[in-house]
Amino acid sequence: LKKTQSSLTGYLETKGTDELEAYYKYCQEMTGQLYVLNNLPTDTTSKLTERNIRKMTENYLSVTEAAVSAKRGRNIMEYTRRYEECQQLYDYMNVYIYSLNNEQFKNNSENYKTLMRSIQYSEVLCLSIFAIVSIMNVLIIIIMTGRITMPLTTLSEKANEISDRSPEKVDPLEIRYNDEIGNVTKAFNQMLSSIKEYIR
């Protein structure tokens, strides 16, 4: 919009071909950008502002074209009147564009706040899951370590019991698992049985 207005002003003041080419170029860009804006009736503030900008831009482009035609026809009164009308529309459109930018900034700020809340919730959730998994891992390690060391500790205590008092009074160990520790316990019980047999 600013470039179109500037090139129009330059053409009307100097009637240079460069300014006229720039004017048509920026007019085409504006026309292409119009299709992005809403053109349907709505009750949403930002969409309504978009629609107003679109209508004013269409009107602005037709008035600027009339001003250029009047300048080519050397109708000073007409292109002066049209230029003043263009300037007035330009000012109105800037106000509407500024208003739309503010509205979109507010919407984007709300979206940003919502996104930040979601990210914070995700962080808390991830940290909670990490803490639960860590605690479960520690518990599993303690249980697995206990399952391995407890039979060995019991075996060691029985061996000390045999060395401290008479082997005949020591009961054999209970075999709980059918693994390497179970095999060692079975061998220990056989050894205890053999010692008792030798003593008898």
The rounded mean pLDDT for the chain is 85
Residue 129 has a pLDDT of 95
User: With pLDDT > 90 as the criterion, what percentage of the chain qualifies?
Assistant: 14
Say how many CA atoms lie within 13 Å of 60 toward its Cβ: 26
* Confidence (pLDDT) at 127: 92
User: For residues 168 and 199, is the Cβ–Cβ distance under 8 A?
Assistant: yes
Which helix or strand (DSSP H or E) is residue 17 part of? helix 17-34
Residue 20 has pLDDT above 80, yes or no: yes
**Widest CA span in the chain:** 138
State the pLDDT at residue 175.
77
User: Mean pLDDT, to the nearest integer, of 91-102?
Assistant: 87
Average pLDDT over residues 57-64: 89
Is pLDDT of 132 > 90? yes
Of 151 and 128, the structure prediction assigns the larger pLDDT to: 128
| pLDDT of amino acid 79 | 83
What was the pLDDT predicted at 135?
95
Which of 86, 23, 91, 99 is CA-nearest to residue 59?
86
Residues 163-189 have a mean pLDDT of: 78
- Confidence at 145, pLDDT banded by 50, 70, 90: confident
Mean pLDDT throughout 74-84?
A: 87
Return the pLDDT at 18: 87
- Percentage of the chain lying above the pLDDT 70 cut: 100
Winning range, highest mean pLDDT, from 26-30, 39-43, 133-137: 133-137
Is the pTM here over 0.85, yes or no?
no
- Number of CB atoms found within 10 A of residue 83's CB: 22
Report d(CA 128, CA 148) in Å as an integer.
Answer: 30
